[in-house]
Amino acid sequence: MCDTFAVGPSVTKDGTTIFAKNSDREPDEAHIVTLAPRAEHRAGETLRCTYIEIPQARRTHAVVLAKPAWIWGAEMGVNEKGVVIGNEALFMKQKPERTPGLIGMDLVRLGLERASSARQACEVIVDLLARYGQGGACGYRDKSFVYMNSFLVADRGELLVLETIGRDYAVRPARDHAVISNAPSIASNWELSSLRPGTDLVKARDPLVTFFAGSARRKALNEQGIRRAWGRFTVETAFALLRSHAPGRPWPGFNADVCMHAADPLIRRSQTTGSLVVELHPQDRFRIFVTATSAPCLSPFKPFLPAAPYEEASRAGAVYTPGSFWWEHEVLHLSAMLRPHTFRESITREVEALEGSWTGEYPAHGWDEATDDLVRVSHGAFEEAKKARSRWVSRLEGVKACPFGMRGFYLRRVARRNRVPLRV
């Protein structure tokens, strides 16, 4: 389960375009943030994606990718041309092809590497979709988990929603904002499509799985948040929406929280493993923020500099690994989720204060800029977050863990199989 939104210049305080996404995956599926540099490739060269090989493009753009460590593709990312893409799982009556093809995350990365605009990225994706189809396991441990995909594609001038079913697609532009989740939102009112006129994508969904995915509630929370901040939307607004929970404590109902936490092996078995916010400024300038961790309610968004990436954000093995920014955070995350909600809320307040200490010091910049001041703020934010995490881990050792129950049993099992040194 995931949530993605973007707002255009008429919605934001400074006339920028802001894109935001939470990647919800299996709870022990390590997520990394990495840079793929621009490159030129030889004629006839092939590219190995997650499951299949395809012809490589002659030139590929530099991209920042936020992705599960085990796949070639990415859940979300931004390229040097100012194109941003995130994908969402769609659960449709028609199932993906049995033969391996491209998975949605592969299509995100391919669109970013090969396109210079949002519209061109859609063209890249639908062309590859027609040629290779979408097929292959999308789950980390659960290899039966397969799905169709929707995409939110943005640049400085346009927001586009692209939804797929099999090798078919529909594209609809959004005027000033777009919000997508785990359900189709384009009925038959598309601008471009390979479907027969009158085909209703919403009616093609699998209603049972879509209901349990909880996408309608999460999408509504983000829509409401955007409308409340209309005309004064900032990256801080995006941070707050991505770390929001449904009213009351987390876990009510079925997957109702934008900031998702796993709680059982059946319904609440996915959680937010990584988050990205991109602010696109005029004159080809950027501000990119990542958690590089799970649980944005327990982790600050940190400035990420494409020309000087923070190395620890790109490290993650299959199990707990010291020196991996993502895995080190799991000690705090899993241990905190076994404590009372009021304790976790106190960490969230400190997280927000930390963000404020560096967000205002981080100016928009060109893709290849790496001045001393930019590097100081970006890398300093990661280092300061590490120190804060150590303080919070020490503090939680004085707070009694909650009784076992289903959630406690499940989270302890996740920690054991990944060798995460829980603080209980």
Residues annotated catalytic, as ranges = 2
Three-state secondary structure string covering the chain: CCEEEEECCCCECCCCEEEEEEEEECCCCCEEEEEECCEECCCCCEEECCCCEEECCCEECCEEEEEECCCCCCCEEEECCCCEEEEEEECECCCCCCCCCCCHHHHHHHHHHHCCCHHHHHHHHHHHHHHHCCCCCCCCCCCCCCCEEEEEEECCCCEEEEEEECCEEEEEEECCEEEEECECCCCCCCCEECCCCCCCCHHHECHHHHHHHCHHHHHHHHHHHHHHCCCCECHHHHHHHHCCCCCCCCCCCCCCCCCCCCCCCCCCCCEEEEEEEEEEECCCEEEEEECCCCCHHHCCCEECCCCCCCHHHHCCCCCCCCCCHHHHHHHHHHHHCCCCHHHHHHHHHHHHHHHHHHHCCCCCECCCCCCHHHHHHHHHHHHHHHHHHHHHHHHHCCCCCCCCHHHHHHHHHHHHHCCCCCCC
